[in-house]
Chains A and B, each alone.
Chain A
Amino acid sequence: NAGVTQTPKFQVLKTGQSMTLQCAQDMNHEYMSWYRQDPGMGLRLIHYSVGAGITDQGEVPNGYNVSRSTTEDFPLRLLSAAPSQTSVYFCASKRTEYNEQFFGPGTRLTVL
């Protein structure tokens, strides 16, 4: 199993550009989530999904959209990037009934 994969690993955007961060898992996990990690702060939940077709907002959802058309994939979209979205983004997944989360390797995003 590849586990949780994320692409790209690094990305530089200009303010106002849009992009999609990709996340995929091959463990048939129902629950998937996106976090951002900023210096001096803990990971913060952006959006999560408990299954295909179901998404919900986390602690810091503004400026981000998600969709879950398949169990495997959970892309995160930035419609109009802002410098405040400069961060490291982690995708994670788990089985709903078990609480241990498996994390992807992260995407480092810089918005100029």
Chain B
Amino acid sequence: KNEVEQSPQNLTAQEGEFITINCSYSVGISALHWLQQHPGGGIVSLFMLSSGKKKHGRLIATINIQEKHSSLHITASHPRDSAVYICAALYNNNDMRFGAGTRLTVKP
């Protein structure tokens, strides 16, 4: 299986800025998963998508199957959005490969 690449590795933004985190994978997948890891270490699921776009509050996730690329956007960023964001490619129901994560810091 091929790796999952995320960029940037680290990202610092001012409160209110629009944030984009990118994820690319090099073979076909069944779905792409975005996760958030809090500073305390807990991991929560944000989105699971296989096509198009999903929105939840200020978070938007998109995926382009042809280009093997997904993006996570945060509108009107806030310091509480500071966390590590992880994308994971689901190759079948039992094989999930994870990116190394993007550490986001939002300054007030």
How many residues of B are counted as interface, with CB atoms below 8 angstroms from the partner's CB atoms? Answer: 23
B78 interfacial contact with A, CB 8 Å: no
Tell me the nearest residue of chain A to B99, going by C-beta. Answer: A42
Which residues of the other chain, B, contact A53 by a CB distance below 8 angstroms?
A: none
Bound-complex Cα distance A11 to B12 (A)? 33
Which residues of the other chain, B, contact A42 by a CB distance below 8 angstroms?
A: 4, 86, 88, 97-101
Interface contact B43-A103, CB-CB below 8 Å: yes
Name A99's contact: one of B35, B42, B48, B86 (CB within 8 Å). B48
Which residues of the other chain, A, contact B4 by a CB distance below 8 angstroms?
A: 42
B45 interfacial contact with A, CB 8 Å: yes
A74 interfacial contact with B, CB 8 Å: no
Count of A-B residue pairs with CB < 8 Å: 51
Interface contact A102-B86, CB-CB below 8 Å: no
Interface contact A88-B41, CB-CB below 8 Å: yes
A61 interfacial contact with B, CB 8 Å: no
Q: Given contacts A99-B31, A99-B48, are A45 and B96 in contact (CB under 8 A)?
A: yes
Q: Scoring B residues 37 to 74 as 1 if CB is less than 8 Å from chain A, else 0, what string do you get?
A: 00001111100100000000000000000000000000
Tell me the nearest residue of chain A to B5, going by C-beta. Answer: A42
Binding site for B on A (CB under 8 A): 31, 35, 40-45, 48, 50, 56, 58-59, 88, 90, 96, 99-103, 105-106, 108
Binding site for A on B (CB under 8 A): 4, 30-31, 33, 35, 41-45, 48, 86, 88, 90, 93-101
